Structure formats: C-alpha cells, structure tokens
Amino acid sequence: MRVLRADRSRALIDPDQVRRAIPDPDPPPPARQRRSHSYQAGGEDELALVDPPSYFRALAGVEVPTGGDMIPCPLPDHEDSHTSCQVFAEAERGWWCYGCARGGRMYDVASLLAGGPWGRELRHDAFARAREFAAAGLGYVGASSCNPLRCHLQAASRERRLRPEHDS
C-alpha cells in the first residue's frame, strides 16, 4: 500500500487566488412568493384576486381608474368633502382612507359599507357576512351566466395555475 505524502516543496496556495479563480455560485432562486391571507389561512380565495378599483365600483358604486386613485371616501359614516380615500391598483395594497383612518382589503370596505367592523374586528360571523356581501356585490353568488368580472377572475386564476410549468 502506497502512502501519499503532502509535497512540502510546493508553494503554499494562496486562498485568495483560489477564491478568485472559482466563479461565485449562482444565488439561490428567490423563494416563491407566498400570498398570505390573514383571514383565510391556506387555500385560494378567488375573491382576494379582485383589484380594488373593481370592488370599489361593484360594492360602493364609485368609478376608480384601473390604475388606482384618490377618491372621496365612500363609507357611509364619513362625509368626505375631499378625496381622502386612496384606492390602489393592486389587490395586495388594497385601500386606505386618510380622513377616517380606515382601510384594508375588499372585505373591510364590504363590511364597513354594510355597517360592520373592519380590520382586526372583522372576524368570524362579521367576516362571513362581509364575504357574503362582497360576493353578492361582485355577482359571485348564484351567477349562472358568465358575467364579465367572473370571467376575468377565472381567466386570472387559470393563468396563475398554468404559469410557469406548461401551457396547454
């Protein structure tokens, strides 16, 4: 059996040189963005995909440009003589009224419009009522025919499911 010995006559290797010679490894792929719904742990909530301009139009009857805008607060207990309510374009960002310091997601505005609670108070029965109100306002309940918003949502969720694996 041969014994391999370290060759001490060779120059020591400069670790910095080695480091420079080896290319940096690729950074790890970014973690898949996880959508967190504080009200509905786990499970897809199609209604959560509705963008704020659409649900403000459907629930509060106010026209908001698809890019979002400041609008007069539509909440019944806030007489807003200015445009204090910011409606964002993205569902994740939701809305916020700087006048009455309330905001959140679709269920918050749905509940407030119906005289219910919002934010942390919007739970259990109150949340179920808000969700029903929102679904009805969006034409989600008992909609047998295809309404434009429903089609839009179905297309959106189909797209999400198909990406990025394969397209059929």
User: Would you tell me which residues interact with Zn ion (CB under 5 A)?
Assistant: 73, 75, 78, 97, 99-100
**Identity of the residue, 114 or 156, whose beta carbon is nearer to Zn ion in the bound complex:** 114
Q: Which residues, in sequence order, are bridge partners of residue 97?
A: 85, 102
**Identity of the residue, 100 or 114, whose beta carbon is nearer to Zn ion in the bound complex:** 100
**Identity of the residue, 119 or 139, whose beta carbon is nearer to Zn ion in the bound complex:** 119
| 11/9 Cα distance (integer angstroms) | 7
**Identity of the residue, 40 or 84, whose beta carbon is nearer to Zn ion in the bound complex:** 84
**Identity of the residue, 97 or 138, whose beta carbon is nearer to Zn ion in the bound complex:** 97
| 134/87 Cα distance (integer angstroms) | 17
CA diameter of the chain: 94
Per-residue tokens: 77? 């207990």
Q: Which residues contact 162 (CB under 8 A, 6 or more apart)?
A: 168
State the DSSP code for 37.
-
| 104/96 Cα distance (integer angstroms) | 6
How far from chain centre, in Å, is Cα 21?
43
* Cis peptide leading into residue 52 (ω within 30°): no
